[in-house]
Structure 1
Amino acid sequence: MVDAVVSYMVERLGDYLIREATFLGGVRSEAVSLKNDLEWMNCFIKDAEEKQVDNPLIRQWVSDIRDIAYDCEDVLDEFMIKVHDGEVTPDVLKAEGEESSKRSQRLLTSFKNSVAKSSRKGKEKVTTYNIGKQIEALKKRLSDVSRRRQEYGLENINVKREGESSAFGRLKQLRKTNSFSFEENVVGYKNETEKLLAKLLEDEPRRYVISIWGTGGLGKTTLAGKLYNNSAIKQKFHRCAWVSVSQDYNTQDLLGRIMKSFNSGNTTEKFETMSQDDMERCLHKSLQGCSYLVVIDDIWHKEAWASLKRAFPNNKNGSRVIITTRIKDVAERSDERTHVHELRFLNQEESWQLFCEKAFWNLNIDEGLEKLGREMVEKCGGLPLAIVVLGGLLSTKKPQEWNLVRDNIWRHLRNDSIQITQLLALSFNDLPYQLKLCFLYLSNFPEDFEIKTERLIRLWVAEGYIPHDEEIMEDVALNYLNELINRSLIQKGQMRFGMVGTCRVHDLLRDLAIQKAKELNLVQFYDELRNSAHSSKVSCRRLAIYSGMKGTLWLQQCNPLLRSLLFFDLYRDRPTVEQFIPTLCTRFRFLRVLEFERFIARSWSLPKDIDKLIHLKYLGLRDTVNIPESLLNLSNLETLHLPEELCGSGAFLPTEIWKLQSLRHLIGARTGPLRIDNMTNLQTLKTVRDDTWTKTNPETLVNLRELDLSVYYEREKKFTFDSIAKLKSIKILTVTLSNDHFFPTLQPLSYCRYLRHLCLTGKMEKLPGEMHVLLPNVESLWLAKSKLVDDPMPILEKMLNLTELILGYGCYSGKKMVCTAKGFPRLESLKLIMAKDLEEWQIEDGALPVLRGLQLSGYSQFKLPERLESVPLLP
């Protein structure tokens, strides 16, 4: 894990060397040397943690390096604060001939004004000499850590001593041992078993792969074992084999175990003496003319099956391969012919049935125990492994002890089962370092919290977890999010515009993230309602306050070097918090992230000292707030998230908001005109009123990707899409008409070639007949209050790339809809809301071929077409 922190710090050092070269001046070479030393040291850390995690000397060694990495960040950030405060002598600006830059000139002027002021206060001047001494001290500490490797015999850190066994190795052996210890009576997955069994037994002669994927502990191995041991399977296939792969596999070893499995453990043939090529030829020859089934359990990399499949002939006699994996990409790309099955979580009744089989075999169920049991089972979130361990644990407890388990459920499960934590930890350990930090950041959020993915992405960017390269950081962060979803570490929530709109973390995985973050001294949280404060270490860098602030005494004791401060629910503590906010801006000056999720009902004011937070990149204010002009001094601010509901007078922003040139996301309802013309870095603008938009030159907003525009009153008559057509990067567009006027022609939108998601709320005389030509790339379409008289389906079904369609309240007032053959070829999600007059919906054969989700609301007398009865209903 520490490799993630050190790698992150190496990247930050690189960023400083590029962005702050002017100020680092004569110590630039020392900073480069420090960066190189950290990179060199990081080469040893990962193996040290994985292979000798139980060695206390190793743990201390990597802990020392972690602390040095944190201190590197502190030295650089503190230096920039002193630069901002004018505590730097002007000679620092003369470095490397860059004094003529515009930025240096502006700062030089402000420094001259502030140096005299700071001198009167007796403040110490800071020069490059001072920071140079601090960097030299850090380099010496790294040198001492390196020396201690030799003193304590850690020079062969990557070589495991005789007799030592890593946690990873023990778990790997545990998986091999338990590969065939399947439950005879498996609860749940009846339909899945029947469906996959039919795929295995069907007449298709070509060999193909069936991939079962899902999170650790979901029952992939159990389901594969249920199929493997089915009597019909034994009758169909001449040869059957099972092999468990895991992360650290050896192809030759796998081939040997498969050959032994095919031979029912007969080791008369000397497989051990064969080369890998000989094994492949021998196995291929032995399977000629046979129908075979092989289960490749627990694959982490698609190369594992690729390295084996040459040994398996395609006899065209119905042979099959079953793969189990936690990773979607591995499941989908294992073979050219693959049937992918994503294993679901157990539903409520299945979970309770499984629990009862484990917990009540020697206890009588009474009303009190059932209530406690159901409460704990719900916390397991449908994860079979957690339910089995919980049931087994409670079966050994007296009824009066159940309350104790309920109050600390995850601690009890960890203590009772070595397998449950280590199985989930495997997924974390397999992550590249960038994804490790992104996953650990999720420990900031409260239990069962529904996280908006856009918010999470912007927080990751603000924290510096996303590398600065040629790609747009938000796109890289979205890829990271999808990777964590595909690796079964994050669960999808609601969808928005055809994308994952919200996500959540299973409680067991959240507990794992908290545990790992605690080891890294990365996150702490405070929850007064539950009387809990996780990690009281003063050196933690991130703090989340879920509820309560008891006189703010606890926060006053926290680390002044905090980088992230998230308030989730302080509604009851308004007077106390209001008093503390001015102190916050002077005490926690290293903050990059500051957010108030739910604060107070009435208007409140940000302090003028907000501009002291010079490192601030993300500011989230979810209640009505008065914003001072000093906000415009936050030159690093990238996200400003205001309340999205327009309450009272709304949020008044300084009219010169354009001075925030680093701003990428300006979000929330607000009143009053704004000048945003030259905000060239702006990617998100929502919600903006037309009185601002009409005074804006859209051609200057070259990076704007999402626009939410509200058009009011008499200006609706003059509104056109001409200005929006000039937004060359626009991907998501929402336009709302507030009155009874009609939308003008959509023709100008044909120039928005990157437009993917369109939401229009307001009247339309009719849909353009050539809508599929005007908007060929639109994937998600939302129409509301359109008051269409003609059936919209004949026009919309021709939009070939449409995957999500929402016909909202008041969209269509007709009584009949028809979807013709081959209509909506790619539509996956369809929502029809409050079309009360609809009486008939005809769907011809071949229409909606890939529809996976359907939502109908507000229909009193309407019969669902038979063709759609099997489509899952969306919430």
Structure 2
Amino acid sequence: MAESVVGFLINQLSTLLSQESTLLGGLRPDVQFIKDELGSMKAFLRQAEAKEDDDSQLQEWVKQVREVAYDTEDVLDDFAFRFARGDADGFFGRVGKIYKSTKNLKARHRISLEIKDIKARVEEISARHQRYQLLYGTQERGPSSSHVASADCDIRDQALLIMVRSLGRDRDDSAESSPSRPLPIRYRDETIPKYLTRREIGRVVTATDTMLLIEEAKLVGIDQPKKELISKILDDHSHLKLVSVVGMGGLGKTTLVKKVYDDAAVKKQFQSHAWITVSQNFQFKVIIKNLIQQLYEEIRQPVPPQVDSMDGIRLSEFVKDFLKERRYILVLDDVWSLDAWEAIKYVLPDCNIASRVVLTTRITDVASASCLVSHDFIHKMSPLSYEDSWTLFCNRTFQSNGCPSNLEEVCRKILKKCEGLPLGIVTMGGVLALKDKDRIDEWEMIFRGFGSEVDGSGKFDRIRRILLLSYSDLPHHLKNCLLYLSVYPEDYPVRNVFNLLDTWIALGFIEEKEGMTATDIAMRYLKKLINRSLIQVKDIWADGKLKECGLHDFLREIIVSKSKEQSFTTVATGYCTRWPDKVRHLAIHNFTDNPPQGFNSLKCLRSLITFGYKDPLTTSFLSKFLCGGPKFLKVLNLEEAKLDSIPKEVFKLFHLKYLNLSGTRLKIIPKSIGQLQNLEFLNLDQTTITELPVEIIKLRKLRSLIVGREGDYSNNFAVWGFKSPDGIGKLTSLERLHNIEVDGGKIVREIGKLIQLRQLSITKLRREDGKELVSSLLRLTNLRELRIGSIKEEETLDLQHSISPRLGFLVRLRLSGRLERVPEWVMSLQSLGTLALLNSELTEDENAIDCLGHLPNLVALMLSRAYEGETLCFKAGGFPKLKELGIVQLKRLKWVSVEEESMPNLQQFVIVGCKLMEGLPLGLQNLTELKVLALADMSDELIHEIQNLDKQSEDYQTISHISQVCIGHWINGEWKEEFL
């Protein structure tokens, strides 16, 4: 964590030195010194943090580095607060500058002393840094220059011997079930990586450790994936084939592959067999010598002595020569980088004799980039089903005897925490197996104390160590992003991904690059964390856009513990009696009573986020809270808080970049909003605010402005927008602008100046302003999402123009209002993935729906009151990529038909509020990929007919291939459904 703090600070210091050189004055050499010294330490910090658990001196040194980095950041932000703010122009501006310069002499002197004090601390830490470099070495010097104690060598030898015994040899079943049993194998000292520490030894044997633990519990749910992998390995393809198995730590990748590797049919198919545990500490020569050792032991011959003196190239040629006439299977377990695979791939001959490589990894990119040939195969590990999880849990906890009835409720609550993770289930089961089955209070205590048990106290140390490997492997900027997720409550899905990305940007976690927006980079970071199996994808939209994500419960508890330990984030709940000292990021969960007072300890606070805050005195509390001194606050997220007004203290937060007041009770925004000169993200979504003051135009750094509300099916998806002041076009940094009312051509023209816009939602468009809007769209070439709504339902959207807008990046489009025809430029949107037409009233004569079928990348289509015809036919060859189709309130529609080879990829078909007098759509049997058919607010006759279908009837046969058929109604704005 210190590495991430220091890396973050170095970026800030670089910015300060480049942009604020005049203001720094005589402090510049001291600031430069601090930056340089911390930079020289950074290379050592990752290695130091990996070893600090075993070394109290290193632990203290890392803590001191982290604290000096935090204190330096505080001084820098205080410096900016006092000296980097803009001033007014004119006479009063000059008077103000003189007054402030006089007033701040003492402040500058104090800050100067603080920087010099920090410099002295850095010098002292640097001296200790030099001593540790001599003792431990650094990453830059390479592993060969590292030093370890002789005791470490003994531990290393034993650990690697266990690894070889467990993974790398043919053995009988009795040996496999008794891992401690000695095996008759030779062990060559030359294959030992001499630089490994105790922590790194743990990484090398992690796969073995996990596999043996899970096997002891009689792993379930493995038969089908094992069968699938064996079929891919034993197919008749003659070329070298790679099979990758990917998933988060603890899912059982190694266990699955070991079952496949030991299968008799697989053993028989190949002449040579080898298992290599690659791990994070990949060393090419060590790996290749290990491979040679296994290959020669299998044929019961000594390794040629010249192998010891060979360099990497000669070793590669040696292996190639050995394997070129043999059919071989090689397992590369626990691969962490593509470089490791590329290096090993060079050694492996492809002589058209159907050899196989099986690779396991936690990182999706490693799996996908390795499997580049068409016959290669990727198997993505999934969590166990609930039924298999329960079976595994009972096997481990009750030795397959079944769960006692008095414990079933608490056991199922505990099992839910494991979320189908086999390693978590067997670890938890192993702890519970020792508990008294008549003492339900002891079992409840394990459930309630789950977080503290996973924080490294011992019982769950094994799973903590395994999951932390993925965290430790992250670069510093991704560590910050992941740790920040610890502010979310347990089982709380991140449903608004952009809110999370905006927070990362506001807190400075994103290292901006030329040619890319900060949002693009933040999304790239998020995808990297997903790619590394650290963040779980909970749901995605049809067009592939991330809809919902979150953390596995086990990983969340580990991250919460790690974050708290490093004073990074702190969660305050209803049980909190005092605020923590020097917390950087504070989350408040479910306060119903009076929160703690005394806010002086919060002066270092950078972000505040609330969840489930029910106290009606929120405004009063917030005012006191902000008066307490968190003047460095950059993120204030009060989403859904019961807040009636914004305390005036909010507008004094000079550093504030992110303000989220969505879902609150606010009705107006005061003029004071203009004081937040550094504000970049303002979210007023789902409030009753209908107008913004002219002072909003002062916020020239604003990237995102979200105001207004949106309805659902019950109110015909109505949008309530906001009135914008004149001059909105001056906010040229805007990338997102939601629900702005454009009742007039002036605002439409202003929108055309916002050329950075990625998302634009406008409402109350008049017919006569349509062509003006199209002219503005000509300049908005960066748009990804566009929503246009008319001033009233019957108003026509006139969006035709002699010159079509160049919206080549547009992926989502929603048009709400009457259309005489679909605009021609819509048909040119080659990237369009999602299209919604509302209240369009297109006629049957215009063949409008047919033309939409030619959009090459359309995956989601909603037609709500969009079509006036009685018949709707989806023609052959149309909608080639469509996955989701919604037909809503097409009142005149009597029948729907689907021709063969139409919508070949459709997976979800929703029909709401359509009478369909002729019954179910014709040709449903042609939709071979259809998984969900949902019918809501349909005629009673049709619902009754579907509910009573005879299994021998023709209608039943047309829907028998659909896995889910459901019917339902909208009741009080909610969808009530029942599955057939």
Normalised by the length of structure 1, the TM-score is 0.88
The 5 Å alignment of 1:275-674 reads 275=310, 276-337=312-373, 338-361=376-399, 364-399=402-437, 400=440, 401-412=442-453, 415-451=458-494, 452-470=496-514, 471-496=516-541, 498-528=544-574, 531=575, 537-548=580-591, 550-554=593-597, 556=599, 558-570=601-613, 572-581=614-623, 583-585=625-627, 587-600=629-642, 604-622=644-662, 623-625=664-666, 626-642=668-684, 644-647=685-688, 650-669=689-708, 671-674=722-725
Distance 1:659 1:366, change over 3 A: same
Bigger shift: residues 332-341 or 126-135: 126-135
1:687 and 2:739 aligned: yes
Report the count of equivalent residues: 840
2:744·2:766 contact (CA, 8 Å) conserved in 1?
A: no
2:37·2:126 contact (CA, 8 Å) conserved in 1?
A: no
Q: Secondary structure of the residue that 1:656 maps to in structure 2?
A: helix
Distance 1:148 1:29, change over 3 A: closer
Q: Work out the CA distance in 2 between the residues paired with 1:864 and 1:169.
A: 61
Q: Work out the CA distance in 2 between the residues paired with 1:480 and 1:753.
A: 25
Note the alpha carbon deviations across 1:169-211, whole angstroms, 9 max, x for none.
2231343566678739542254433333322222222222111
Note the alpha carbon deviations across 1:699-740, whole angstroms, 9 max, x for none.
321211110111267878888533323323222111233412
State the match for 1:97 in structure 2.
none
Q: Secondary structure of the residue that 1:14 maps to in structure 2?
A: helix
Q: 1:138 aligns with which of 110, 118, 121?
A: 118
Q: Work out the CA distance in 2 between the residues paired with 1:10 and 1:138.
A: 14
State the match for 1:225 in structure 2.
258
How far 1:45 sits from its partner (Å)?
1.6
Note the alpha carbon deviations across 1:654-688, whole angstroms, 9 max, x for none.
12311100111001215333231111111110121
Q: Work out the CA distance in 1 between the residues paired with 2:511 and 2:237.
A: 47
State the match for 1:796 in structure 2.
852
1:757 and 2:795 aligned: no
Amino acid aligned to 2:661: L
Bigger shift: residues 775-784 or 424-433: 775-784
How far 1:464 sits from its partner (Å)?
0.6
Distance 1:562 1:364, change over 3 A: same
Q: 1:736 aligns with which of 789, 801, 816?
A: 789
Distance 1:852 1:544, change over 3 A: farther
State the match for 1:723 in structure 2.
776
Amino acid aligned to 1:315: C
The 5 Å alignment of 1:264-279 reads 265=298, 266=300, 268-270=302-304, 273=308, 275=310, 276-279=312-315
Q: Work out the CA distance in 2 between the residues paired with 1:864 and 1:264.
A: 63
Q: Work out the CA distance in 2 between the residues paired with 1:583 and 1:866.
A: 62
Q: Work out the CA distance in 1 between the residues paired with 2:922 and 2:334.
A: 45
2:324·2:351 contact (CA, 8 Å) conserved in 1?
A: yes
Note the alpha carbon deviations across 1:727-782, whole angstroms, 9 max, x for none.
2322211123341234334556542233232222334344467854x212323333
Identity %: 29
Q: Secondary structure of the residue that 1:354 maps to in structure 2?
A: helix
Note the alpha carbon deviations across 1:437-469, whole angstroms, 9 max, x for none.
111111111111121211111000000111243
Amino acid aligned to 1:473: A
Amino acid aligned to 2:386: Q
Q: Work out the CA distance in 1 between the residues paired with 2:922 and 2:466.
A: 47
Q: Work out the CA distance in 2 between the residues paired with 1:327 and 1:769.
A: 43
Q: Work out the CA distance in 1 between the residues paired with 2:314 and 2:84.
A: 69
The 5 Å alignment of 1:690-839 reads 690-691=742-743, 694-695=746-747, 696-711=749-764, 721-737=774-790, 738-745=792-799, 750-767=805-822, 771-772=826-827, 774-788=828-842, 790=844, 794-802=850-858, 804-811=859-866, 815-818=871-874, 820-821=876-877, 823-827=878-882, 829-834=883-888
Distance 1:153 1:273, change over 3 A: closer
Q: Secondary structure of the residue that 2:230 maps to in structure 1?
A: helix
Bigger shift: residues 695-704 or 319-328: 695-704
- Structure 2: unaligned runs, 5 residues or longer: 139-145, 153-196, 709-720, 934-963, 965-980
Distance 1:776 1:522, change over 3 A: same
1:212·1:324 contact (CA, 8 Å) conserved in 2?
A: yes
How far 1:428 sits from its partner (Å)?
0.7
Q: 1:148 aligns with which of 109, 128, 135?
A: 128
Distance 1:54 1:793, change over 3 A: farther
Distance 1:716 1:106, change over 3 A: closer
Normalised by the length of structure 2, the TM-score is 0.79
How far 1:617 sits from its partner (Å)?
0.4
Distance 1:567 1:740, change over 3 A: same
How far 1:595 sits from its partner (Å)?
1.1
How far 1:3 sits from its partner (Å)?
1.0
Q: Secondary structure of the residue that 2:679 maps to in structure 1?
A: coil
Note the alpha carbon deviations across 1:143-186, whole angstroms, 9 max, x for none.
11123346789654543430244323223134356667873954
Q: Secondary structure of the residue that 2:588 maps to in structure 1?
A: strand
- Structure 1: unaligned runs, 5 residues or longer: 86-102
Distance 1:260 1:117, change over 3 A: closer
Q: Secondary structure of the residue that 2:346 maps to in structure 1?
A: helix
2:603·2:628 contact (CA, 8 Å) conserved in 1?
A: no
State the match for 1:161 in structure 2.
148
How far 1:867 sits from its partner (Å)?
5.7
The 5 Å alignment of 1:230-241 reads 230-241=263-274
How far 1:74 sits from its partner (Å)?
1.0
Q: Work out the CA distance in 1 between the residues paired with 2:413 and 2:604.
A: 40
Q: Work out the CA distance in 2 between the residues paired with 1:210 and 1:607.
A: 59
1:538·1:559 contact (CA, 8 Å) conserved in 2?
A: yes
Amino acid aligned to 1:204: H
1:211·1:324 contact (CA, 8 Å) conserved in 2?
A: yes
Q: Work out the CA distance in 2 between the residues paired with 1:771 and 1:78.
A: 51
Note the alpha carbon deviations across 1:327-353, whole angstroms, 9 max, x for none.
111011114313222222222222222
How far 1:833 sits from its partner (Å)?
4.9
Q: Secondary structure of the residue that 2:854 maps to in structure 1?
A: coil
1:112 and 2:95 aligned: yes
How far 1:55 sits from its partner (Å)?
0.6
2:576·2:596 contact (CA, 8 Å) conserved in 1?
A: no
State the match for 2:28 in structure 1.
28
Distance 1:154 1:363, change over 3 A: farther
Distance 1:180 1:416, change over 3 A: closer
Q: CA RMSD in A?
A: 3.2
Q: Work out the CA distance in 1 between the residues paired with 2:91 and 2:266.
A: 79
Amino acid aligned to 1:517: S
Distance 1:172 1:152, change over 3 A: closer
Q: Work out the CA distance in 1 between the residues paired with 2:329 and 2:119.
A: 58
Note the alpha carbon deviations across 1:358-410, whole angstroms, 9 max, x for none.
22227552333222222221221121211121222222212322111111224
Q: Work out the CA distance in 1 between the residues paired with 2:213 and 2:571.
A: 40
Q: Secondary structure of the residue that 1:544 maps to in structure 2?
A: strand
How far 1:281 sits from its partner (Å)?
2.8
